[in-house]
């Protein structure tokens, strides 16, 4: 998991995230930002998994990172189940 501050250094974090996603990065990303306008949050919807604004509580950060891990596990489990069912269907009906 990547926790990315949009305002770090001289690089725009959103542009960096856009490039990473375009390069195929699938790692979950939580954006941490002082940018709290709705337009900022909407602009990043295509590139990140969660968005938390500063100031934030560490309890909230911990809860959100935990939720992202669970969501990722569920996505991978569902993907694995779909691939398994697809494989079974291609092979034909199971025999008894």
For 3-13, the pLDDT digits (tens) are 888 877 777 78
- Rg of the chain (C-alpha set): 18
Please check whether residue 53 lies inside any domain of the structure.
Answer: yes
What per-residue confidence (pLDDT) applies to 87?
Answer: 67
pTM of the model: 0.61
Closest to 3 in 3D by CA, of 26, 32, 24: 32
How many distinct structural domains can be found in the chain?
Answer: 1
Of the pLDDT bands very low, low, confident and very high (cuts 50, 70, 90), residue 83 is low
> What are 56-74's pLDDT values in tens digits?
899 988 988 888 887 776 6
Please check whether residue 96 lies inside any domain of the structure.
Answer: no
Residue 30 near residue 52, CB atoms below 8 Å: yes
What domain range includes position 66?
2-91
Please check whether residue 35 lies inside any domain of the structure.
Answer: yes
> What are 11-52's pLDDT values in tens digits?
778 788 888 888 988 888 888 888 878 887 777 666 678 888
CA–CA distance, 80 with 73 (Å, rounded to integer): 10
- What's 67's domain CATH number? 3.40.50.2300
Please check whether residue 26 lies inside any domain of the structure.
Answer: yes
What per-residue confidence (pLDDT) applies to 59?
Answer: 92
């Amino acid at each position: 998991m990547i926790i990315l501050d949009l305002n770090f250094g001289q690089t725009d974090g959103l542009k960096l995230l856009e490039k990473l996603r375009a390069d195929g990065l699938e790692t979950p990303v939580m954006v941490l930002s002082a940018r709290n306008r709705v337009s900022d949050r909407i602009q990043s919807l295509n590139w990140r998994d969660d968005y938390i604004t500063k100031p934030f509580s560490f309890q909230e950060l911990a809860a959100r990172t935990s939720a992202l891990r669970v969501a990722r596990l569920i996505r991978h489990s569902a993907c694995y189940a779909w691939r398994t069912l697809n494989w079974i269907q291609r092979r034909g009906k199971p025999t008894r």
